[in-house]
């Protein structure tokens, strides 16, 4: 028996809507999850012994949980003292020089490598440091700038932007934009790049978004190291890599407290706080780096896909077994040197000779 079904155009629209929208709505309402068994995660034999010892085999780092402004400042002072000591020791080891400067009223550090290449002499790299928007003040925020300056043979200006608890959002963005505006007035933007890791990566993106709004010349290239592109707990690896990442541990705790301290009353998904929600059209060529154990793996992947969707030239490098920014703390492990050499080659391709 043959039966013919007839539907009006309205009926088809209703059925189509139900077919496509209902699973999405159910997913949003139910938020299904999976429970995984406990398991041991060994250090893989695919990495160097140096990377294993300096990073991968270490236990999960424990951060303080400050609640008052005084507790925040005490924690900042203690943690940054150790980071500053590491930065100074690294600068001495590679022969780099740090000079404190005031640019547009913002404290900065000019990092001069021991050797400046012929191409590097014509270029300027601008660095915004990491540290969850609460750490990295003074010399404590210069380690990455020292390593990039040394690898690229180029001067670096590292921006010592203001931070909470005294200076929440948008102080960091305002400082980065002010420094960039002052520098670009004196240098050719086609020979300038902007870079940073973690918070620095997110802040670099927010800075470019703001430069677009203000119609200020943008950098010719970006390096975003495991960028904190979404300060809300949105993205797969916030769950899948919790405690697997031995640098950040998990979102709940220090990270979440830092995000809310920085954002204040502003929505965590504001594009200048979580730039993955911004319009990335017109961004410069970008190189992104993350690791297979990185809590911010999804932050980095989502930023890469958003950049690609906006028509931006973007390279994504995922490092074996590395947690958050292990290429920094494991230097000079072979894997760390390899990443900085990738950054050097990327800048060389996209900055004017």
Strand partners, 282: none
**In contact, 293 and 60? CB cutoff 8 Å:** no
Q: Helix, strand or coil for residue 9? A: helix
Task: Give CA torsion, residues 303, 306, 311, 313, to 10 deg.
Answer: 20
Residue 325 · residue 296 · CB < 8 Å: no
Any idea which residue has 């505006």 for tokens? Answer: 181
**How far is the CA of 11 from the CAs of 7, 277, 285, in angstroms?**
6, 35, 47
pLDDT digits (tens, 9 = 90+) for 21-31: 444 444 445 67
Burial of 94 (0-12, 13-18, 19+ CB in 10 A): middle
Pick the CATH number of 49-350 from 3.90.1300.10, 3.40.50.1820, 3.40.50.1000, 3.40.50.740: 3.40.50.1820
Quick one: pLDDT at residue 31? 75
Q: Span 133-157, mean pLDDT?
A: 98
- Burial (0-12, 13-18, 19+ Cβ within 10 Å), 342: middle
Q: Are 195 and 125 in contact (CB under 8 A)?
A: yes
Mind listing the pLDDT tens digit for each residue in 276-297? 999 999 999 999 999 999 999 9
Position 305 confidence tier, pLDDT thresholds 50, 70, 90: very high
CA distance readout (Å), 102 to 78, 109, 118, 252: 25, 8, 27, 36
Among 10-19, 114-123, 221-230, 312-321, the range scoring the smallest mean pLDDT is: 10-19
- What is the Rg, in whole angstroms, of the alpha carbon atoms belonging to the chain? 22
74-129 per-position pLDDT tens digit: 999 999 999 999 999 999 999 999 999 999 999 999 999 999 999 999 999 999 99
The structure tokens 């980065």 sit at: 176
* One-character DSSP codes across 301-345: HHHHHHHHHTT--EEEEEETT--TTHHHHTTTSHHHHHHHHHHHH
Q: What is the pLDDT of residue 4?
A: 37
At residue 7, the pLDDT reads 34
* pLDDT tens per residue, range 197-253: 999 999 999 999 999 999 999 999 999 999 999 999 999 999 999 999 999 999 999
pLDDT at 20 over 70: no
The pair of structure tokens assigned to 315 is: 């390279």
pLDDT tens for each residue of 155-208: 999 999 999 999 999 999 999 999 999 999 999 999 999 999 999 999 999 999
Q: Dmax of the chain from CA atoms? A: 88
More confident residue, 310 or 30: 310
| Res 30: pLDDT | 67
Question: What residues does each domain of the chain span?
Answer: 49-350
Q: Which residue has the higher pLDDT, 321 or 25?
A: 321
């Amino acid at each position: 028996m043959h039966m013919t079904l007839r539907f009006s155009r309205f009926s088809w629209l209703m059925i189509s809507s139900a077919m496509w929208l209902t699973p999405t709505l159910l997913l949003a309402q139910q938020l299904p999850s999976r429970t995984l068994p406990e398991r041991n995660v060994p250090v893989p034999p695919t990495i160097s012994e140096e990377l294993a010892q300096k990073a991968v085999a270490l236990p999960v780092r424990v951060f303080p949980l400050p609640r008052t402004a005084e507790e925040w400042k005490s924690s900042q002072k203690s943690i940054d003292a150790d980071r500053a000591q590491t930065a100074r020791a690294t600068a001495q080891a590679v022969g780099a020089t740090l000079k404190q400067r005031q640019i547009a009223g913002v404290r900065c550090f000019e990092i001069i490598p021991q050797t400046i290449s012929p191409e590097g002499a014509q270029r300027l790299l601008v660095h915004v440091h990491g540290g969850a928007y609460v750490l990295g003040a003074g010399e404590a925020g210069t380690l990455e700038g020292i390593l990039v300056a040394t690898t690229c043979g180029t001067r670096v200006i590292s921006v010592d932007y203001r931070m909470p608890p005294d200076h929440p959002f948008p102080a960091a963005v305002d400082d980065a934009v002010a420094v960039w505006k002052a520098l670009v007035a004196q240098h050719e933007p086609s020979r300038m790049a902007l870079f940073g890791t973690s918070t620095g990566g997110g802040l670099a993106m927010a800075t470019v978004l703001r430069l677009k709004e203000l119609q200020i010349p943008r950098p010719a290239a970006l390096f975003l190291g495991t960028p904190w592109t979404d300060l809300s707990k949105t993205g797969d690896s916030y769950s899948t890599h919790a405690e697997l990442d031995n640098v950040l541990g998990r979102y709940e705790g220090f990270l979440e407290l830092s995000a809310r301290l920085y954002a204040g009353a502003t929505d965590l998904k504001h594009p200048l706080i979580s730039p993955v929600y911004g319009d990335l059209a017109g961004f410069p060529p970008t190189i992104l780096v993350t690791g297979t154990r990185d809590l911010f793996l999804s932050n980095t992947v989502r930023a890469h896909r958003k950049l690609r969707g906006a028509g931006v030239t973007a390279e994504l490098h995922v490092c074996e077994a590395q947690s958050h920014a292990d290429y920094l703390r494991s230097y000079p492990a072979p894997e760390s040197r390899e990443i900085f050499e990738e950054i050097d080659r990327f800048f060389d391709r996209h900055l004017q000779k």
